[in-house]
């Protein structure tokens, strides 16, 4: 993801930081819409970001494990349509509360950025 005229190195660092910061609310938001599994979450992020966020298994699963450890999601084993075992994740009530707070925080940051970017003194 390249931002404006930044150098590729700066753009990559910024992207990594933004991806890390937004990963928890993205996963919780996706799971708030229904149970899902790792590969489907990765594909959903790619689709809604129009391929600007390219998550990998190595990035997603530590996030899922942390969310599960913190009681924000639960995981259960199930079977896919092909009979393969798959781990399904769903948001908990504690996760819904955390998501609500994160939405408020991100909305505040977004509104502040819009104010600054729209200001003639920016």
Residue 11 covered by a domain: no
Give residue-wise pLDDT tens across range 21-56. Answer: 999 999 999 999 999 999 999 999 999 988 888 888
Beta strands 85-91 and 73-79, pairing class: antiparallel
Pick from 40, 41, 12: nearest CA to 24: 41
pLDDT of residue 75: 98
pLDDT band at 17 (very low <50, low <70, confident <90, very high): confident
CB half-sphere exposure, 74, CA atoms < 13 A: 5
Number of domains the chain is built from: 1
Q: How far apart are CA 99 and CA 32, in angstroms?
A: 9
Range of the domain at 28: 23-118
Q: Is the pLDDT of residue 68 over 70?
A: yes
Residue 3 covered by a domain: no
Instruction: Report the CATH number at residue 43.
Output: 1.10.10.10
pLDDT band at 16 (very low <50, low <70, confident <90, very high): confident
Report yes or no: 57 and 51 within 8 Å, Cβ to Cβ.
Answer: no
Query: What's the mean pLDDT in 10-16?
Result: 55
Residue 6 covered by a domain: no
Total-model pTM: 0.83
């Amino acid at each position: 993801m390249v931002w404006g005229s930044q150098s590729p190195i700066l753009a990559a660092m910024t992207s990594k930081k933004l991806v890390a910061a937004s990963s928890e609310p993205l996963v919780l938001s996706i799971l708030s819409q229904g149970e899902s599994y790792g590969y489907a979450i990765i594909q959903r992020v790619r689709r809604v970001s129009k391929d600007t966020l390219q998550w990998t298994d190595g990035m997603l699963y530590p996030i899922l494990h942390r969310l599960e450890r913190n009681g924000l999601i639960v995981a259960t084993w199930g079977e896919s349509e092909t009979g393969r075992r798959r781990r399904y994740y769903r948001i908990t009530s504690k996760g819904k509360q955390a998501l609500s707070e994160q939405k408020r925080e991100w909305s505040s940051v977004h509104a502040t950025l819009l104010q600054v970017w729209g200001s003639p003194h920016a």
